[in-house]
Amino acid sequence: MKVLIIGGGIGGLTLALALNRYVPDCEVQIFDAVPEFKPLGLGINLLPHAISVLDDLGLRQNLAAVGVEAREFTFYTHLGQLVHREPCGLFAGYEYPHYSIHRGDLHQVLYGAVCERLGKAAVHTDHRFVQLVQGDKEVSATFVDHNDQPVGTYSGDILVGCDGIHSAVRKVFYPNEGAPVFHGINMWRGAARMKPFLTGASVTRIGALFLTSKLAVYAIRNNIDDAGNQLINWIAEVVTDEQSPCDWSAAGKLEDFYPIFKDWTFDWLDCAALLRNSDMIMSYPMVDRDPVNQWSFDRATLLGDAAHPMYPRGGNGGAQSILDARMLAQLLHSNSDPRAALRAYQDGRLNTVNSIVLKNRTAPPDSIIELVEQRTGGKRFDRIEDVITADEIRGIHEGYQRVAGYDRESVARARG
């Protein structure tokens, strides 16, 4: 069997490795539009459900060498008051850790493994997908380079679109879908060299969009210099009508959002200094797409953000593409007809992931803080127990875990 993978990001590279693991006689060809891979992006959280897949692919030690093993989730109000903290990963009793990692480091781990196991010839850069043709026995894809010059047409048994939120493969099947949907929230992202805060491995959320803004902060590299500093990743979300370009590499300006956070200086973290001291700032709108009811079309299917672009919350953007890859590879192993495997993959993943898309819009994990800020009117409280009960917090947090598939039972069942 020959598989054409369109897109060499997290989903496409994981799928290639999963096919190599579960369907070892499969020929895999990966195509990406970029002339060369570069370490783009900033932080990403890989929770136990994603690590269970990557561990099965033999990558756990590689990830541990470049990431930060998270110890806890923490939730604070915009005034720096603790709402809730709880352990995560191995510290919460999972079989697998939780790693916070630079997206470029994750990509390099995946790409390095692909080159080692499949060979560099399996990866074709500077190949932008432009056309798909399906027949009774095969599917073919045509590509051009960055100058729009033809670089070839390739055929295979199936084609998998892993080419992100602006997927050209998805556009073949949904030509009138339009641009991703903006929901009135813009994000600015960056990273700075700082001393560790809290445990040095705390995935921390601060503030609430009820009050127009919030921050997510976590370390993504350890011991980056002789002074023991970490690389601390941050994401600032602000309610606004002004939408940034829908481009993960778009530059952002500190002055566009810093005034909102200039007084966020706490005894456990100086958020204002973190923002000011960042080497670079990127801007991206909070966008997704409305769920669709079909990903698989005969010999072609969609995976990751091409199938279900979602808010980057709860560590689920990249994680769900990783879970997609495992299921699709396993089904291609167990089905003699690859078209049946694509239909089974859609049946197994579509409803689950579409639920996460909608959940991320309305009730992400940090809705715990939203509720507290609403009940206090954004003012200080004396005792958190007088504002929100432990049962309410547990219900919100565990409810999201179950929908996203990273509660302990779901992770164990998926591995089994």
Residue 394: pLDDT band by 50, 70, 90 thresholds?
Answer: confident
Q: What domain range is 311 assigned to?
A: 2-40+104-179+291-362
Q: How far apart are the C-alpha atoms of 412 and 416, rounded to whole Å?
A: 6
Tally of structural domains, the chain: 1
Q: Considering only residues 41 and 375, tell me which one the structure prediction assigns the higher pLDDT.
A: 375
Q: Can you spell out the DSSP letters for 136-173?
A: SS-EEEEEE-TTS-EEEEEEESEEEE---TT-HHHHHH
Tell me whether residue 124 is in a domain: yes
Q: What pLDDT, on a 0 to 100 scale, did the predictor assign at position 40?
A: 76
Structure tokens at 344: 């089974």
Q: What pLDDT, on a 0 to 100 scale, did the predictor assign at position 168?
A: 97
pLDDT tens digits, 132-141: 999 999 999 9
Tell me whether residue 156 is in a domain: yes
Residue 415: pLDDT band by 50, 70, 90 thresholds?
Answer: low
pLDDT tens digits, 342-363: 999 999 999 999 998 988 887 7
Tell me whether residue 407 is in a domain: no
- Can you give the CATH number for the domain in which 346 is found? 3.50.50.60
Residue 246: pLDDT band by 50, 70, 90 thresholds?
Answer: confident
Residue 403: pLDDT band by 50, 70, 90 thresholds?
Answer: low
Q: How far apart are the C-alpha atoms of 182 and 169, rounded to whole Å?
A: 21
How high is the mean pLDDT of the chain?
Answer: 93
Within 31-125, where are the H helices? 48-56, 60-66, 103-118
Mean pLDDT over 376-394 rounds to 93
pLDDT exceeds cutoff 60 at 159 = yes
Q: What is the pTM of this model?
A: 0.94
Tell me whether residue 7 is in a domain: yes
Backbone phi and psi for residue 62, each to the nearest 5 degrees, phi listed first? -65, -40
Structure tokens at 251: 């530059």
pLDDT tens digits, 12-32: 999 999 999 999 999 999 999
pLDDT tens digits, 63-73: 999 999 999 99
Tell me whether residue 341 is in a domain: yes
pLDDT tens digits, 207-242: 998 788 999 999 999 999 999 999 999 999 999 988
Tell me whether residue 114 is in a domain: yes
Tell me whether residue 52 is in a domain: no
Q: How far apart are the C-alpha atoms of 194 and 228, rounded to whole Å?
A: 9
pLDDT exceeds cutoff 80 at 313 = no
Tell me whether residue 46 is in a domain: no
